[in-house]
Amino acid sequence: MGVNRATRSAPGLALTCATAAAVLAGCSVEQASCGGGEYPVMTIGGTGSACVPDGQEPPEGYTRYPVGKVPEHVGDKWDTYWTHTVDEDGKVVAVPDGE
């Protein structure tokens, strides 16, 4: 007794359809630095970061990333760059020892 061809290929068809739907929907496997409606900020003088709701200013001790150097996804160019920090004047500087 043979296996019905339609039954045997159903899991493959389901996987193909799911993959096509993800591609068409623009899904990404990259994890965003912040959720929708938020932007990333960094600590002043350290390597910490946080996410702040759009329209709100960064909390005390945090600042916006310099223009053009904002991480968008975990592991992207700017996410891995920020072993640097900014000082209280917004100048990019080396991270102090022990930070």
- Tell me the residue range of the domain where 60 lies: 38-94
When pLDDT is averaged across residues 75-92 and rounded to a whole number, the result is 87
- Judge whether 13 lies within some domain: no
Task: Assess contact for 49 and 80: CB atoms under 8 A.
Answer: no
- Judge whether 84 lies within some domain: yes
CA angle 77, 20, 14 (to 5 degrees): 125
- Judge whether 1 lies within some domain: no
Closest CA to 96 of 85, 88, 3: 85
pLDDT exceeds 70 at position 61: yes
- Judge whether 70 lies within some domain: yes
Beta strand spans in the chain (E): 38-43, 49-53, 62-64, 84-86, 92-94
- Over pLDDT 90: what percentage of the chain? 37
Q: What is the pLDDT of residues 11-31, one digit of tens each?
A: 554 545 455 544 444 455 678
- Judge whether 63 lies within some domain: yes
- Judge whether 64 lies within some domain: yes
| Count: domains in the chain | 1
